[in-house]
Amino acid sequence: MKYRTNFRVKRMERGQGYGRKLLFLRNWDIGAGEHARLAVEEMVEAVKAALQPSAERAFDFKVVVSELINNEFMHGRGGNVRVSVAAYSSGHAELCVYGSNHGFSIEKELERRKGREDGWLDESGRGLVLAAALCETLRTETDDSGRVVRARIWMGD
């Protein structure tokens, strides 16, 4: 098996997490290739089981997960990609893709594209624009240990 996963359920105290309860948190360590596709399918199925979204919202989640993982494989510094997915009682799913700090910022890239008339249609980067449109929030966080791309997606109808 080219990816590893672990699973834990954690209850949040009242007042933590903006009044939402964590339903599940699961982590994956994914290698490139066919195993990445299988891991994405597993992530989608886990969110579907917890939040029971429509087929359309589940597909949107799959697009975002696939795009952000693919970006890390393409632009990261090699090796496996670590991913965590959480589902909350508020109906949101949160995806975190952990990678190397290679100077790429989603916010800067999207802003750069806004400034160009043809920037939204460049072949490279269209998936990022689509992922941003499907997310409630999409941001990059960096520190000395690396970078986290964090996406928050509303899974309700």
Of 70 and 143, the one with more pLDDT: 70
Predicted pLDDT at 1: 39
Q: Which CATH class for the 3-154 domain?
A: alpha beta
CA distance linking residue 91 with residue 27, whole number of Å: 19
Q: What is the DSSP letter of 54?
A: -
* Tokens 């510094």 -> residue: 77
Predicted pLDDT at 11: 38
Predicted pLDDT at 79: 77
Predicted pLDDT at 43: 96
Of 22-26, 40-44, 127-131, the one with minimum mean pLDDT is: 127-131
Q: Average pLDDT in the 49-72 region? A: 94
Q: Are the beta carbons of 132 and 110 closer than 8 angstroms? A: yes
β-sheet with 3-8: strand ranges across: 3-8, 22-30, 81-88, 92-99, 146-154, 137-143
Q: What does the pLDDT look like over 80-114, one tens digit per residue?
A: 889 999 999 999 999 999 987 666 666 766 676 66
Tokens of 81: 């990609």
Predicted pLDDT at 16: 44
Q: Are the beta carbons of 93 and 32 closer than 8 angstroms? A: no
Q: Average pLDDT in the 116-141 region? A: 74
**How does the average pLDDT of the chain come out, rounded?**
79
Q: pLDDT over 70 for what percent of the chain?
A: 72
Q: Flag whether pLDDT at 35 surpasses 80.
A: yes
Q: What does the pLDDT look like over 1-23, one tens digit per residue?
A: 344 544 443 333 333 444 579 99
Nearest by Cα to 20 from 46, 44, 50, 49:
50
CA distance linking residue 4 with residue 6, whole number of Å: 7
Q: What is the DSSP letter of 103?
A: S
CA distance linking residue 58 with residue 20, whole number of Å: 20
Domain coordinates in residue numbering, the chain: 3-154
